[in-house]
Amino acid sequence: MAQLTKRLSYNVEGPCFVDSTCIDCSVCDWIAPEIFGHQEGTSFVKKNPQTAQELVHFQMSLLSCPTNSIGDQDKRPIREAMDALPCLIEDDVYFCGFTSHKSYGAQSYFVKHPEGNWLIDSPSMRPYLVERFKELGGLKFIFITHQDDIADAFHYAELFNAQIIMHVKDAIDVKAIHLPVKRHDVTEMGAFTIIPTPGHTAGSLCVLYKDKFLFTGDHLYFDEKGLNVFSEYCWFDFEEQILSVEKLKKFPNVEWILPGHGGKKKIERGTFSNEIDRMMTMIKSTYK
């Protein structure tokens, strides 16, 4: 629970606030950019909710904060926000919310599929979310993009008898992975395309769904400059990560970039390769 005694001075006056335990994961910015701002390594409330929709967005952020750093002095009912999670993005792809401190607040996703549902990375283990997944048909596969964002994936796998998909180079215990990715070849699993993208970590993976939704882990994200990479948070090999980015030009029909950290973005179909080219030009002029 957020503590009023630790309320940040950046917050506007009003009942809603962020306290000093914020770890700057930006989940609240991602959910409710109309409510939250960002300054000097922390998020803060720049505007108190004025409408019912804004309140729901604020409360979804409160529920999804991995460090419980968001508070509401008015302590308003939160059931509507709970029922809004997982939140539909488009088609049959959902944002889970309820991020975990174990993965630094990484975003995770649920894909409802007639041949078995997928969980892309893992939210925090919450009884409410477990029930929602059951209502949506359970989990068949849990895809882990890289070792940073495992969170409670293995707990969900045990509970739902789901199969873990992960690259062996990022695995602590290879025997615990049901469908290990061992090479750097693209693998097709029905509507899902598993794409090895080493760089951020040795075993980083992306997964493309329906040739449209690209789940990128910490490989790629969107910011105010456009498509970008986390050069300062590269744990393996930045040059190899850039080579992995260029390989994604083989999938020009991507419309959604859905990262673990950083901004999501829907782009016009057919422009993904151009976005990569623009980013590569920026990288060559910025990172020496």
Q: What is the pLDDT of residues 54-70, one digit of tens each?
A: 999 999 999 999 999 99
Token output for 93: 């792809």
Q: What is the pLDDT of residues 174-191, one digit of tens each?
A: 888 999 999 888 999 999
pLDDT for 132 equals: 97
Q: How far is CA 95 from CA 22, 56, 134, 185, in A?
A: 21, 15, 16, 28
Q: Is a pLDDT exceeding 70 seen at residue 250? A: yes
Q: How far apart are CA 248 and CA 283, in angstroms?
A: 16
Domains of the chain (ranges; CATH) run 4-81 (3.30.70.20), 97-286 (3.60.15.10)
Q: How far apart are CA 102 and CA 272, in angstroms?
A: 31
Neighbouring residues of 71: CB distance < 8 A, sequence distance ≥ 6: 1, 2, 3, 4, 7, 16, 17, 18, 19, 62
Query: Which of 81-90, 177-186, 279-288 shows the lowest mean pLDDT across its residues?
Result: 279-288
Average pLDDT of 32-41? 94
Q: Is a pLDDT exceeding 70 seen at residue 131? A: yes
Q: Structure pTM?
A: 0.95
Q: Quick one: what percent of the chain has pLDDT higher than 90?
A: 89
pLDDT for 287 equals: 65
Torsion on CA atoms 243, 246, 250, 253, rounded to nearest 10: 140
Q: Quick one: what percent of the chain has pLDDT higher than 70?
A: 99
Average pLDDT of 16-21? 98
